[in-house]
Amino acid sequence: MQTGLRNQSTEAPAASGVTSYALPVIAAGVVIAVLYWARAVIITSLVAVIIAFLLEPFVGLLTRIRIPRPLATFLVCIFAVMALYFAGASLWRQLSGMAREAPELQNNLTAAVESTSARFQSLGDTAGRILVPGPKPATAPVPEAPVAKKGKKTTSTAPSPPQPGAIQEVRIHEDRNPVTDYVVASLGTVYQFVLMSSFVPFLVYFMLSWRDHIYKSFLRFFEGADRLIVARSVSGISTMARAFVVGNFMIGIILAALSCSMFAVIGIRYPFLIGSLSGFMSLVPYIGLPLGMMPPIFAALASGADSTVIVLACVIVLALHLTAMNIFYPKLVGARVHLNPLVVTFSLMFWGFLWDAAGLVLAIPITAGLKAICDNVAGLKPYGRFLGD
């Protein structure tokens, strides 16, 4: 009897331990499934939050001069739309010029690729002759066609005509165009992108104009000390997010302006488009340097520029990238976002796998926001120290 009671007493803690580990695992699986299933809505909301953080300093500046917050938000949003329109118009003019010269650019790019391939082929053949010397392989003789002798009949292998009344199998080959299939498959994605993008201006406006009301209403969900913890967490998240978003945007603007001017000096065509793409693509974590080099390299090859221009473009992108990562980034972003490199790498892998390209862009601010929550909640502070640098 006592042995049975002991077994029950030892099995109860084991069962409770398994349950305590199983529930967080199940909850994590449910959260990941929701993040993947509702990624269009979540990504749209996060993009709206990022734009709201970019515009919040301008709204705050107008409210300090006694302009009501809804009117200040409306004015800032109108100004942002106009700035986006003029930037888009400039980019459209560059793209229109590239479209008019597309055949010439395509021919130059094809010639450059063929020349590079021929050089690599010649280099490979030379290395093969040096490493594996030997006689050239003898070519096999080509057999001659048989000549029919006189007086002998030759047999013909022509197919026999179909017999009357016989059932013949008819095979229908359906020719499919891969381009058409890709366009049809992408229509749903484009429609979803356009639909979700149409909500962004409204979300940004309401986030900015109703910011104080939403913040106070959210704090009323908590009582006592929990309200203070939540207020600190929200403050930490907003400070980090604003520093990260505004800092990266300013760095991107600086890199784009410098890239445009330098590309124009060395003679790369369409410098505004190429420089803007290179400047903002170089901010992508870990792969920003090769991504930033791709637009000027392709533009130089397409315009038929010589190798000197390509080398100068790569040197410019490398110098600007190193300057941004070692001077601008620590002062504008790194002082507020304290994440160790291992956590950054894993977050890029996870969010990139979950949300593709959008996950790579949003991985660091999401992880830094989680760290800000962990730093202000007593039970989660060890996790915050683990995520930190």
The pLDDT tens digits for 196-216 are 888 888 999 998 998 888 888
Confidence of residue 302 (pLDDT cuts 50, 70, 90): confident
H helix runs in the chain, sequence order: 2-37, 39-63, 69-100, 102-131, 178-197, 200-209, 211-219, 225-266, 271-281, 288-302, 307-323, 329, 341-376, 381-387
Asked if residue 312 is part of any domain, the answer here is: no
Q: Which domain holds residue 78?
A: 42-111+200-210
Q: Is residue 388 part of a domain?
A: no
**Tell me: the pLDDT tens digits for 108-150?**
667 766 776 677 677 767 766 776 655 555 555 555 555 555 5
Given a contact cutoff of 8 angstroms between Cβ atoms, the answer to whether 304 and 318 are in contact is: no
Evaluate if residue 33 carries a pLDDT over 80.
yes
- The verdict on residue 251 lying in a domain is no
Which pair of tokens denotes residue 260? 């445009």
- pLDDT, average across residues 25-30: 86
pLDDT tier at 315, thresholds 50, 70, 90: very high
Instruction: Give how many domains the chain has, as a whole number.
Output: 1
Percent pLDDT > 90 in the chain is 8
Residue 83 located in a structural domain: yes
Neighbours of 339 (CB within 10 A): 17
Could you tell me if residue 24 is inside a domain? no
57 occurs within a structural domain: yes
* 100: in domain: yes
Per-residue pLDDT at 336: 66
CA distances from 229 to 222, 365, 366, 387 (A): 9, 20, 19, 19
In a domain, 67, yes or no: yes
